[in-house]
Structure 1
Amino acid sequence: MRGSSQMDITEVSQRSGVPASTLRFYEDKGLIRSIGRQGLKRLFEPAVLERLALIALGRAAGFALDEIALMFAPDGRARIDRRMLAGKADELDRTIRQLSAMRDGLRHAAVCPEPSHLACPKFRRILGLAAAGAIGPPAKQSKKRVPRSAG
């Protein structure tokens, strides 16, 4: 019989909004840990919900799963590296500056009175920056995709 302080994978999925397939993937990666099974279903302690929230926050901030894994001590407690957070904040600042420059360039191009965008000095400057890689989408990191569907 299941203890009141345990949740099966279905309940964790429902309460966290994380598909069961992703929970299994996270467990395989060592990000979460089940405490046993009830039949074929994995069982988890309620603390897994907080851990999943921290994982979601890390993913939203752009951390790779391997980086997020480093944010937990072997006993499961959070041990967040402040330097890593500061580094990610710096990276986000660079991305924001790049995206802001791209947005401003697109807004200018949309209303530029020049007959051709290539005749516009501002557009040509933006074109040069894009060609040099100074603006544009952030560089893709080598990340494994997390399954999105339950399975």
Structure 2
Amino acid sequence: MMHLDIAEVAQRSGVPASTLRFYDEKGLIASTGRRGLRRLFDHGVLERLALIALGRSAGFSLDEIALLFTREAQPRIDRQMLAAKAQELDKTIRKLSAMRDGLLHAAACPAPSHMECPTFRRILQAAATGAVGARRRRASKPPRS
């Protein structure tokens, strides 16, 4: 079987060599040897990198993605984890949609001043409430050591 060196994998996948080395050290991909100083990979690494890219674009952490792979390099996709991530994305989409709608309203609002607009004041109040809640949650976490 012909192997690809790290430069070929980087070129074919679009993933920088530094990231490939990081993924190799983290156990997400595995080099099969070396040609001189260059790591070698089998062709299956390209599919694995595509799965990693798909997971990253869906918002999974590298540690979560690592759980998707078995020792035999076959993906073991946890359907519950996918459903939970989909729910998380739905929540993010709702928040971003509300933010977009608020920005569009503020951009087109006919009020002489945004501070005179009842809709803008509600948006402002919602933002203040969210910001205060976020600060409280952070303050309650124990300091890192």
Percent identity, please: 71
Q: State the Cα RMSD in Å.
A: 1.2
Identify the residue that residue 33 of structure 1 maps to in structure 2: 30
Equivalent of 2:18, from 11, 17, 21? 21
Structure 1 segment 101-140 matched on structure 2, within 5 A? 101-133=98-130
Mapped to 2, the partners of 1:63 and 1:114 lie a distance apart of 42
Which segments of 5 or more consecutive residues in structure 1 lack a partner in the other structure? 135-151
2:80 is the alignment partner of 1:76: no
Identify the residue that residue 49 of structure 1 maps to in structure 2: 46
Identify the residue that residue 97 of structure 1 maps to in structure 2: 94
Mapped to 2, the partners of 1:112 and 1:77 lie a distance apart of 54
More helix by share: 2
Q: TM-score, normalised by structure 2?
A: 0.86
Structure 1 segments of 4 or more deviating over 6 A?
none
Alpha-carbon distance, 1:52 to partner: 0.1
Alpha-carbon distance, 1:5 to partner: 2.2
Aligned length: 131
Which is further off, 22-31 or 113-122?
Answer: 113-122
Mapped to 2, the partners of 1:81 and 1:105 lie a distance apart of 36
What SS does structure 1 have at the residue aligned with 2:130? coil
Q: Which amino acid aligns with 1:36?
A: G
Alpha-carbon distance, 1:65 to partner: 0.7
Identify the residue that residue 141 of structure 2 maps to in structure 1: none
Relative contact order higher in (CA < 8 Å, ≥ 6 apart): 1
Mapped to 2, the partners of 1:29 and 1:124 lie a distance apart of 48
Alpha-carbon distance, 1:70 to partner: 0.7
Which segments of 5 or more consecutive residues in structure 2 lack a partner in the other structure? 132-145
Alpha-carbon distance, 1:132 to partner: 2.1
